[in-house]
Structure 1
Amino acid sequence: MQAANAGIILGGTRLIYAGDTNEASISIRNSDKNNDYLIQSWLDNDDEKNSAKVPFVVTPPLFRLDRESDNILRIAKVGGNLPSDRETLYWLSVRSIGATPKEITGSSLQLVLRTRIKFIYRPSSLNNDAALNAYRSLSFIRQDGELVVKNPTPYYVTLATLKVGGKDVEEPGMVSPYGELRVKVSGSGAIEWQSINDYGGLSQTARQ
């Protein structure tokens, strides 16, 4: 699956960095037939209050992407002691600034668009196959009008769908490694869910 913003298309909706590799990469394409763009890319911590320097670097951080052309964003680890027993989440932002046509000489409005996708560091001690099946390990407890979703695995699990008694829960969210998520629900009945895998696709349906 792809993430798109105007004419700029990223080659995925998330990017996994395997701890036993030197870098991770993702394609970026300008599908616009008429406009060139200035592309700026960077990584942020998952917690906005965390001011620590992100231990990864994006190259190229700033470049021009001509109309109907492609490039590759590469991300390399440049230090930092990240947990080896669980994944760590960051956010990759790609900002696209359209070129101003030469014929425009007066005042004009220039749109700046941003695409933001999950960037997950997966240490080498963790298994990719286990990550694909982590959603099956989720457990659910009803408590005071809420559904408490517990994740006993070292992987981030993004819920694509969540149903309680056949009724959809809007925007169910993501459960962090060894963490829990609280979702307001009404009614009762069987719980069904799907997750989004490493490739942006949907898992099979699990039930409790």
Structure 2
Amino acid sequence: MLYKHLVPFFLMPLMCISQTQAAVTVGATRVVYKGAEKEANLTLSNKGDDAPFLVQSWVSRYGDDESKSVSDFIVTPPLFRLDTNEENILRIIRIDDSALPKNQESLFLLNVKAIPALSESLATQNVLQIALKTTIKLFYRPLTLKGEVKDAVQQLKWSQSKGKLSVRNDSGFNIVVDEVKINGLPMKSVPEVISPFCTMHLQTPAFNGDNLSLSYIDEYGSSNTAPSVVVH
């Protein structure tokens, strides 16, 4: 999944709101950093015609405070100006993977904040300036992890206990869930990610013999539907 947040960063009384719309777009919905590579790249584009942007980027840990950067990776350039109709490439560089598991993916978030420049006409006015923050998943896949996500999905073990659904992931891959259906009906509440080597106990009603279908997001950002399974 890709997240976008509007972040106000300058506020004065009797304010007006800048009409400049953030036009910085990222070139992918996720980044897979393979352990054999020295770096991973992401393209940023400013497709607007109104103003340049100041772009700031950093990596945070998935499930943690997004504003808190980690020491495992650096992003370069961390801060730069992106003019209208221009592109730039973010380079995500691994600093130290000694603390990261060698038998499973580690999940992070790549955060990109774009702050629009004020036009001369607005520079002297009381303005609420809006920054657009985009967050995408960053998967670090160690060199020693073999196999593919699609195989890991098919190896998920779905079961029920006392009428509630559980799922066990015995692989080293993070499974990003798009949709889960039971007997053709979409679940209202699904986990965003089924983490490696974990068992998740869900509140969804399920019984022996139920037919379950999982749609997941692959490493290219596409939704795929795995073969249906029977809950036991």
The two structures have a TM-score, normalised by structure 1, of: 0.90
- Aligned partner of residue 139 in structure 2, secondary structure: strand
Is it true that 1:106 corresponds to 2:125 in the alignment?
yes
Distance of 2:57 and 2:163 partners within structure 1: 41
Amino acid at match of 1:141: S
Is it true that 1:79 corresponds to 2:100 in the alignment?
no
Displacement, 1:3?
A: 7.5
- Tell me the residue number matched to 2:61: 45
* Contact 1:40–1:94 (8 Å) recurs in 2: yes
Q: Deviation digits for residues 115-171 of structure 1, max 9, x if unmatched?
A: 1111111001123x5223211111111234532111110000011110011111235
- Tell me the residue number matched to 1:9: 25
- Aligned partner of residue 110 in structure 1, secondary structure: strand
- Aligned partner of residue 225 in structure 2, secondary structure: coil
2:215 is matched with which residue: 175, 194, 203? 194
Distance of 1:74 and 1:37 partners within structure 2: 18
Amino acid at match of 1:95: K
Relative distance call for 1:37 and 1:52 in structure 2 (3 A) is closer
Q: Deviation digits for residues 2-35 of structure 1, max 9, x if unmatched?
A: 8777412111111010001100001111111212
- Greater radius of gyration (CA): 2
Relative distance call for 1:35 and 1:3 in structure 2 (3 A) is farther
Distance of 2:63 and 2:125 partners within structure 1: 41
- Tell me the residue number matched to 1:27: 43
* Contact 2:105–2:139 (8 Å) recurs in 1: yes
Runs of 5+ unmatched residues, structure 1: none
- Tell me the residue number matched to 1:68: 85
Considering only aligned residues, what root-mean-square deviation do their CA atoms show, in Å?
2.2
Relative distance call for 1:30 and 1:52 in structure 2 (3 A) is closer
- Aligned partner of residue 154 in structure 2, secondary structure: helix
* Contact 2:107–2:140 (8 Å) recurs in 1: yes
Displacement, 1:79?
A: 1.4
- Aligned partner of residue 153 in structure 2, secondary structure: helix
Distance of 2:106 and 2:84 partners within structure 1: 35
Question: Aligned residues, how many?
Answer: 206
- Aligned partner of residue 114 in structure 2, secondary structure: strand
Distance of 1:187 and 1:21 partners within structure 2: 43
Distance of 2:221 and 2:215 partners within structure 1: 12
Distance of 1:12 and 1:89 partners within structure 2: 16
Distance of 1:150 and 1:187 partners within structure 2: 15
* Contact 1:91–1:116 (8 Å) recurs in 2: yes
Percent identity between the two aligned chains = 30
Structure 1 stretch 174-183 or stretch 3-12: which is displaced more? 3-12
The two structures have a TM-score, normalised by structure 2, of: 0.81
- Tell me the residue number matched to 2:143: 124
